[in-house]
Structure 1
Amino acid sequence: MKYVPAPLDTYYRGITVHADRAIVWRWLCQMRVAPYSYDWVDNFGRTSPRKLTLGADNLAIGQRILVLFEVVGFERDHHITVQVRPGLRWFWGNTCCTFRVADSDEAEGCRLRMIMTVHDRPSRFAKSTGLYQVRKYLFPWVELVMVHKQFRTFKKLAEKMASEGPSEEAGNARIDRSR
């Protein structure tokens, strides 16, 4: 992978969403605002917004996203690639995720996919303290649960928006301007 050197572990997640690719991508951009998984765990108990936040889709390389990550690449309506911020790699490793929205074989909708690549060489500190073993064996299971919830939330919100009818930027009336 371009951002993560070998040796590495790779994890895949995906879900079919019955909504236009542009709507799903727009909800992915909301990760700049909130995590959309289990808010009581990774959003300090605050509920992730159920309306789009104005400007959240104005992505730029280096922007913070999902607390631990920064944007390293994106293409509107197609993908967002994020990487663990350098100062946090001592524990999380050099982890990179690509969230991709692709056309589906089904008549309506798209596929939301995530490919997570984790550099599997621990820092000396993580290895000497045992933190590496904790991350190595616990992380894939925690990530599975959190991303599964996140994807179901995006699916629900995008499908609801799609059922309300087409509009520019998924409907300005539904954009949360308070953030």
Structure 2
Amino acid sequence: MIPGLVWGATAAEREDPLPCDELQPEGVQADRAISIDAPYGLVYAWLCQLRVAPYSYDILDRWGRPSPRRRDPQLAELEVGQRFMGQFELVSFVLSDHITLVTGKICVTYAVRPEGAGTRLVVRVRMGGPRIIGRLLALGDLVMMRKQLLTLKELAEAEDRAEPQDEFELRQ
């Protein structure tokens, strides 16, 4: 397996079709996944926070300004065409299921799946253009996205422990 193309994703998750596959079918595929001990509705709500910050290495992404640590419920009001992380455009979404973003020849789908009492967050990045460039981008993406997914995990789990949630709201 080529370094940088997989982090945490199972073989089944790597084979499962996601919306970004149709948008960049010939692109280099990189899969990332993480289990989160929080309801999938809450994890999805945290994905919507990517509209305002990447939740990765703030020193690189935000010139040292910290990504918000409190979730803004208004950011969960999605519309195709919205900006995410400053450079991506929201091209499709299904509430409490997935968001798909595009910038240039890079397409990414973040998908939430129930896993026991928690959530499995599966992310696929498809990078078009020359394959060697896609593989190099996948290495850099691995570093940044690993931090992003660990941060989202930390924030969702902390919120789930801190506040009783309306079960109906979070499962939608």
TM-score of the two chains, using structure 1 as the length reference: 0.77
Output the CA distance in 2 between the equivalents of 1:121 and 1:67.
24
Output the CA distance in 2 between the equivalents of 1:157 and 1:79.
18
**Residue of structure 2 in register with 1:156 after alignment:** 154
**Residue of structure 2 in register with 1:76 after alignment:** 95
Task: Specify which of 137, 140, 150 is matched with residue 138 of structure 2.
Answer: 140
Larger radius of gyration: 1
Cα deviation, residue 140, structure 1: 1.2
Deviates more, 1:136-145 or 1:39-48: 136-145
| AA in 1 matched with 2:158 | K
- State the percentage of identical aligned residues: 36
Matched, 1:20 2:39: yes
**Residue of structure 2 in register with 1:177 after alignment:** none
Task: Specify which of 99, 111, 120 is matched with residue 111 of structure 1.
Answer: 120
Matched, 1:99 2:119: no
Gaps (5+ residues) in structure 2? Answer: 1-20
Residues 1:16 and 1:143: Cα distance change in structure 2 (over 3 Å): same
Q: Partner of 1:52: helix, strand, or coil?
A: coil
Cα deviation, residue 121, structure 1: 4.1
Q: Partner of 2:59: helix, strand, or coil?
A: helix
**Residue of structure 1 in register with 2:6 after alignment:** none
Deviates more, 1:14-23 or 1:50-59: 50-59
Output the CA distance in 1 between the equivalents of 2:98 and 2:25.
21
TM-score of the two chains, using structure 2 as the length reference: 0.80
Output the CA distance in 1 between the equivalents of 2:60 and 2:163.
33
| AA in 1 matched with 2:125 | M
Output the CA distance in 2 between the equivalents of 1:5 and 1:99.
17
| AA in 2 matched with 1:108 | A
Between the two proteins, the alignment pairs up a number of residues equal to 148
Output the CA distance in 1 between the equivalents of 2:35 and 2:113.
10
